[in-house]
Structure 1
Amino acid sequence: MPSTTPIRCQGLAFTYPGAPSPVFHGLDAVFTPGWTAVLGDNGIGKSTLMRMLTGELTPQSGAITPSTAGLVKAYCPQRIDERPATLDDFAQDWSPETMGIRRALGIGDDWPYRYGTLSEGEAKRVQIACALARRPDVLILDEPTNHVDEPTSLAISTAMNAFRGVGVLVSHDPELIDALCQRCVWFLRRHAGDVNETVVRTFDGGYTQAREQLAHDDRRDEQMRDRAVGEANRLHDVLRRRSADVQRAEAIKRHGSAIDRRDHDLRERRNTAKALSTDGVASRALAQVQRRAARAGELAASAGTAAKRYAGDIWFEARPSTRRELMRIGPGLVDFATGALIGDRSGETTHADDRPLPSAWSTLVVDGEQTPGDTGSAASIRDEGGAPTALRIPLLSVGPRDRIGVSGPNGLGKTTLLRALLRNGAAVPTLAIAQTMPDGTAEQAMGELGGLRPPLRAQVLASYAQLNADPDRLLEGANPSPGELRKLMLCLGIAHHPELVVMDEPTNHLDLSSQQALAQALRDFPGAVILVSHSGWFLDRTTTVRWSVG
């Protein structure tokens, strides 16, 4: 049976080597049996806390009690290209408990033996199954519904609901959090003075209840800050007036000017000067106002409020293509293994292309020119075992201002369709960002950022900030999180003035505020957009044409 002992984090602090400021300090949180959601912006410290819970990192101050060293811990990472360490054990585990996990997640018997060929959603299910099969005391799932379609998300939720240990869910999926979680631990950036700091608050209930409480707290903090600023301004006005009166009266005394007995106002100021000045030292009354004004100013400066959110205004010098058509492909079949067009089973043939596929994130220009055609739906072709081998497509065309959303279940060829489109596009600057980033992408992106001319680097960082990211962390040399990396890649690509943006699952790894900022940015892009996503609201907000793969 899993442990039912709560895990308590008290006063945790951690600073990465070379970083000028801590990731967090004084962090308090409690993880009780059942599911607790951990929320917050990309790069704010959630993964650091998870690494502490697993024992991979040791806090530099504070404590985690009881120690998790004697507990069975299982961690399911965000990235689906990380092969589970216990995959071989899972493949040979036919116990009733593990068989129940397989059924709940719809995992085929052969999946563990061909992990490298699984779709993103299938791989995520296997990762979660391997974690559950360990019968852990503490189970940490990091963005478990990334990469997955709605049926898979429901299967994952059902399997998670059966877990009875201490469950920690790092997620930006409101529906999943509302369905499973009894509390939310929320990492927040608060603005105080001239800096942002990270604080952690715990709210009862799921996402909806926690969000309402957070909005209430934000309104209260804003009102408290406004009152503190107003009082500080009022006292400083009083201080300025009294100081001015003292200075005028002192000047009159120094000059020894006679005062007309009928000038009651000037005589009053002179009398005030006598009361407020003794050998040039401020009186107790004036000093008291000075102290009150100073305290009010300190209170106003320290009053924390929610850090500013941005609206995704990122495009500079972007224009649509002057071509009538950017892409044309089909009708025919697209090979799953290569993304190349192959002969149609109806007897028709299409152009086969052996040009190399674009890299996962580079700005690319492909050659070839087509003429306009009709758009339509796509269907996958399966082998006798049910695995898709090719994607049958109609004639598909992309115009210079088209906004196309591609949707459909996992494993049926959405990513394959993108690869085929990129092989057969016109010679226009294209920004393509893949769903999964290869190793070394972060280092390559940081290197490109560092090599930009200062004015262009400033534009890239300004765009990055508009996507609810923190440019200071990049300038400090911090390694970007998966969500921050996607934002950085987009902003670096903008510097090449693309006329077409292609993104596969663009909301993966992004916090909710960043998803909204990205949706606004893509909606404002003046060129053509092709987006693959399981998020219906995101496609509804960013695209006007839908291609469905079924």
Structure 2
Amino acid sequence: MLLSAENITKAYGTRVLLDGADLYLNTGEKLGVIGVNGAGKSTLLRILAGTEEPDGGTVARDPNVRLEYLPQNPVFEGRRTVLEQVFAGLSPEARELAEYEAKTILTRLGVSRFDQAVGELSGGQRKRVAMASALVHPCDVLILDEPTNHLDSEMVLWLEDYLRQYRGALVMVTHDRYFLERVVNRMVEVEGGSLHFYEGNYDKYLKLKAEREEMAQASERKRQSILRREYQWVMQGPTARGTKSRERLERYEALKNREGPAQKTELELSAISSRLGKKTIELAGVGKAFGGRTVLRDFDCMLLRDDRIGIVGRNGSGKSTLLNLIAGRLAPDSGAVMVGETVRVGYFCQENPPMDPGTRVIDYVKEIGNNIETPEGTLTATQLLDKFLFPGDVQYSPISRLSGGEKRRLFLMAVLAAAPNVLLLDEPTNDLDIQTLTILEDYLETFPGAVIAVSHDRFFLDKVVRRVFAVEEEGRVAAYPGGYSEYLEARRAAEREKSPRAPAGKRQERPAGLRKLKFSYKEQREYETIDDEIAALEEEIAAVRGGQEEKASDYLALQALQDRQAELERALEEKMERWVYLNDLAEQIERQG
């Protein structure tokens, strides 16, 4: 066992996040952590990583286990360069060995200025640098909090492949359902202070959770049936009960006092919208540049009244710029954006608008209105908050006590409650839990207006959109019918048609900012001797196994030999991983010519 947490409790004020929770992590496990915003997922990860202490309970780690943690909002030493930050804590020898890998990962994550000060980076860039640092440091347990936030679709696909091949144990909070489907082999849901575990990926979790809830409901129905029968017996009067029935009375009291399964509140809201006329939003020949760089070129679009458009592209390609042009927050350099008189835009942008931390949640909603008109009737601010999973004690708490995800949910509620008929969503899946995302997707299915969403969440795009705009190089925008999967297949087909076979002998291009590959002196020596070292380890393991057969009746000697075998097998696994790296590097050096 690599890591264990037993009887963990954690509360903030009167709000209990973890109440006697247990968690055990074994070698090879890839654990996906889910739960509604504010349930305590990030708190659980901080406790496991050792950056936060629980109020009660114990966390135990094998002293030989190396652990790396990616927090949701990493904090850096601003004077360090990108590479210095990635290598923080590594020895000079380890830095030299990891330099190629570090630069490759950074380039994959869209960070190419390796000598830039981390204090100059945006929040998204800092998260990606922290990601590279966690991946480069050798470790046995990798703990990641929202790793896909601030990654574009191509980066997410790369990270998914990387983590699928990762050989250590993984604990990861993510709301990316394709990630959970393809990477993890065990799930845990944080709910009501408890941890509920499910073997398998996201699809298995959905099935097993439905079975668990059905069993709980069946048990509750049986309890209620027995309770009704026992109640009738109790009410028959004392003449029907002798002293021998004391046990039955005690059983009745126990049944009556036992709590049934908690009735979960589901976030639900019928679509709120104002009337949208025939004229919506039209973009004609729209262009936009910043500092001499064109991010949008000669773009035309007629928004249909019930459109469902997904916008994809690399980070910095201009996706948010396009939304800001549509919303009227930016003026185009060329062309025109024409907006119909009845258009009412709701803009769920990446960053929350300023929220006074001292304002109570209920008062924030009352600024929208004390009474909100919905298809279900008039809702008070309290009722609206109930529907968005803000219980009574939270409604009267200051906004400062909300988690990041809860603030996003509050902002989303404010946008929807204003009854827009055109919804612009910029990375709506960032920091929203799966339950909220599922309800948002259902909401959008019945929403009578148009929806345009910038997102890297492939599941969300596949479920919601009917056409995809891909923002490409030099400000070009290409349109594809269907969801994200159809777009990805169309793009791959176009690439295969353009270059069905790579020209023989063509050199592989190196990521920008990388020097020509070559072995360091130590790597060259290691490459020349590693086959012999692996053979020697295999021979020693075979000898130790033979020794175990001879010492089968000597417990102490046998235990020592088993410990030695485990030590040798760990060394062999590390050597094999190093062999793969060195041979891969040798092949890339050879392809350079």
Provide TM-score, normalisation by structure 2.
0.65
Q: 2:300 matched to which residue of 1?
A: 395
Q: Is the 8 A contact 1:11 1:62 kept in 2?
A: yes
User: Aligned residue for 1:62?
Assistant: 57
Structure 2 residue 327 is the aligned partner of structure 1 residue 327: no
Does 1:128 find its partner at 2:50? no
2:142 paired residue among 111, 136, 139? 139
1 CA distance for matches of 2:389 and 2:326?
31
Q: Does 2:399 align with 1:494?
A: no
Give the Cα–Cα distance (whole angstroms) in 2 for the partners of residues 530 and 397 of structure 1: 12
Corresponding residue to 2:25 among 31, 41, 66: 31
The CA deviation string for residues 368-390 of structure 1, in whole angstroms up to 9 with x for no partner, is xxxxxxxxxxxxxxx8xxxx642
For 2:228 and 2:395, the matched residues in 1 are separated by 36
2:446 matched to which residue of 1?
Answer: 524
Task: Indicate the residue corresponding to 2:435 in structure 1.
Answer: 513
Deviation by residue 1:448-491 (Cα, 9 ceiling, x = unmatched): 23656655696445344445555643434473333322221121
Q: 1:73 to 1:288 in 2, by over 3 A?
A: closer
Q: Which amino acid aligns with 2:147?
A: P
Contact 1:336 1:416 in 2 (8 A): no
Secondary structure of 2:6's counterpart equals: strand
Aligned to 1:109: 112
Which among 365, 370, 375 is matched to residue 449 of structure 1? 365
- Post-superposition shift, 1:305? 5.3
Structure with the higher helix share, 1 or 2: 2
Deviation at 1:517, TM superposition (A): 0.4
Equivalent pair of 1:139/1:167 in contact (CA under 8 Å): yes
Partners of 1:74 and 1:53 lie apart in 2 by 11
The one-letter amino acid of 2:436's match is S
Paired with 2:116 and 2:408, the residues of 1 have a C-alpha distance of: 31
1:307 aligns with 2:275: no
Question: What is the aligned partner in structure 2 of residue 202 from structure 1?
Answer: 197
Residues in 2 aligned to 1:535 and 1:66: alpha-carbon distance in whole angstroms: 34
2:57 partner letter: G
> 1:13 and 1:422, CA in 2 relative to 1: closer, same or farther beyond 3 A?
same
Q: Structure 1: any 5+ residue segments left out of the alignment?
A: 189-196, 247-274, 277-281, 338-382
SS at match of 1:394: strand
- Structure 1 residue 143: Cα displacement: 1.6
Letter of the 1:64 partner, please give it: V
Residue 529 of structure 1 aligns to a residue in which SS?
A: strand
2:345 — aligned with what?
Answer: 430
Compared with structure 1, are the counterparts of its residues 467 and 546 closer, same or farther at alpha carbon in structure 2 (3 Å cutoff)? farther
- Work out which of the residue numbers 69, 74, 77 in structure 2 matches 1:75: 69
1:150-299 equivalence runs, <5 A: 150-161=153-164, 163=166, 165-188=168-191, 197-240=192-235, 242-243=236-237, 275-276=239-240, 283-284=242-243, 290-299=249-258
Q: CA RMSD in A?
A: 3.7
Q: Following TM superposition, by how much is the alpha carbon of 1:56 offset from its aligned partner in structure 2, in angstroms?
A: 3.2
CA distance in 1, matches of 2:255, 2:301: 65
Letter paired with 1:433: F
- Identify if the C-alpha distance between structure 1 residues 136 and 413 changes in structure 2 by more than 3 Å, giving closer, same or farther: same
Q: Which residue of 2 aligns with 1:91?
A: 83
Letter in 2 for 1:462: Q
8 A contact 1:29–1:185 mirrored in 2: no
Whether 1:406 aligns to 2:398 is: no
Q: Which residue of 2 aligns with 1:48?
A: 43
Asked if the contact 1:505–1:532 (Cα under 8 Å) also holds between the matched residues in 2, the reply is: yes
Deviates more, 1:174-183 or 1:119-128: 119-128
CA contact (8 A) 1:315 1:463 kept: no
Instruction: State the match for 1:420 in structure 2.
Output: 325
Distance 2:357 2:420 in 1: 21
Deviation digits for residues 356-402 of structure 1 (CA, Å, limit 9, x no counterpart): xxxxxxxxxxxxxxxxxxxxxxxxxxx8xxxx642114222335544
Instruction: Give, in whole Å, the separation in 1 of the partners of 2:220 and 2:131.
Output: 45
* 2:42 pairs with 1:12: no
Paired AA for residue 432 in structure 1: Y
Residue number in structure 1 paired with 2:487 = none
DSSP-derived class of the 2:100 partner: helix
Check 1:470–1:170 CA distance in 2 against 1; reply closer, same or farther (3 A cut): farther
SS class of match (1:506): coil
SS in 1 for 2:193: strand
Shift of 1:518: 0.6
Whole-angstrom distance in 2 between the partners of 1:443 and 1:549: 40
- The answer to whether the 8 A contact 1:464-1:487 is kept is no
CA distance in 2, matches of 1:425, 1:222: 54
Aligned to 1:475: 396
Alpha-carbon distance change, 289 to 76 in structure 1, aligned in 2, over 3 angstroms? closer
Query: 1:46, CA displacement in angstroms?
Result: 0.7
Contact 1:467–1:518 (8 Å) recurs in 2: no
1:22 equivalent in alignment to 2:24: no
SS state at 1:59 partner:
coil
Report whether the alignment pairs 1:148 with 2:151: yes
Higher mean alpha-carbon deviation, 201-210 vs 499-508, is at 201-210
1:222 match: secondary structure: helix
TM-score normalised by structure 1 residue count: 0.69
2-side partners of 1:329 and 1:116: how far apart? Answer: 38
- The answer as to whether partners of 2:312 and 2:456 remain within 8 angstroms in 1 is yes
State how far apart, in whole Å, the 2-side matches of 1:413 and 1:513 are.
29
The whole-number CA distance in structure 2 between the counterparts of 1:160 and 1:399 is 40
In the TM superposition, residue 58 of structure 1 has moved relative to its aligned partner by 1.5
Contact between 2:306 and 2:450, CA under 8 Å: does it hold in 1? yes
SS in 1 for 2:130: helix
Distance 1:485 1:55 in 2: 26
- Letter matched to residue 159 of structure 1: Y
Output one character per residue of 1:29-79: Cα deviation in whole Å (capped at 9) or x when no partner.
Answer: 1233443222222211111112223333211111111399x9865432345
Seen in structure 2, the aligned counterparts of structure 1 residues 175 and 455 have a Cα distance that, compared at 3 Å, is closer
Q: Secondary structure, in 3 states, of the residue corresponding to 2:101? A: helix
Any gaps of 5 or more consecutive residues in structure 2? 88-94, 329-336, 373-377, 473-593
Instruction: Classify 1:40/1:25 alpha carbon distance in 2 versus 1 (closer, same or farther; 3 Å).
Output: same
Aligned to 1:519, the other structure's residue is in SS state helix
SS in 1 for 2:469: strand
Counterpart of 2:516 in structure 1 is none
State the SS of the aligned residue for 1:88: coil
CA distance in 1, matches of 2:22, 2:78: 32
**Cα distance in structure 2, aligned partners of 1:319 and 1:88:** 51
How far apart are the structure 2 equivalents of 1:540 and 1:137?
A: 34
* Residue identity in the other structure for 1:91: L
Is contact 1:12-1:63 (8 Å) kept? yes
Q: How many residues align?
A: 443
Structure 1 residue 494, shift from structure 2 partner: 3.4
| 1:483-516 Cα shifts (integer Å, max 9, x gaps) | 3222211212334332332111212222222211
RCO greater where, 1 or 2, for CA within 8 Å and sep 6 or more? 1
Matches of 2:79 and 2:280, distance apart in 1: 43
